[in-house]
Amino acid sequence: MAVKIIKCPSCGEEIVLTDLYDGVEVECSLCNSIMIYKEGKLLVLDTNEEFDVDELEIEEEEFEEEDEFEDEYYFEEEY
């Protein structure tokens, strides 16, 4: 079960956070950026920047809108 869904502060890829406890390591699957969660913030190890997790969180409305297009299929008609 996902605790939060956030955007990677480095590349914008969606990251599903399943555990949120101090010291948990989070890695982006797209850019391989590694972040450490501590006291409500993510510390990006490459740049030493801190980001508030609540600011990076994807709202449910945004997430649902993106999923709508994944179910649409386009087929070419045969002549």
Q: Evaluate whether residue 77 is within a structural domain.
A: no
pLDDT (tens digit per residue) in 13-62: 999 988 888 999 999 999 999 999 999 899 999 999 999 998 999 876 55
Rounded to 5°, angle at Cα 17 from 22 and 31: 100
Q: Give the C-alpha separation, 63 to 24, whole Å.
A: 24
Q: Give the C-alpha separation, 20 to 39, whole Å.
A: 10
The amino acid at residue 23 is G
Structural domain that includes position 23: 4-71
CATH number at residue 62: 2.20.28.160
* pLDDT at residue 68 greater than cutoff 80: no
The reported pTM is: 0.66
Q: Evaluate whether residue 78 is within a structural domain.
A: no
Q: Give the C-alpha separation, 3 to 20, whole Å.
A: 7
Q: Evaluate whether residue 79 is within a structural domain.
A: no
Indicate the number of domains in the chain.
1
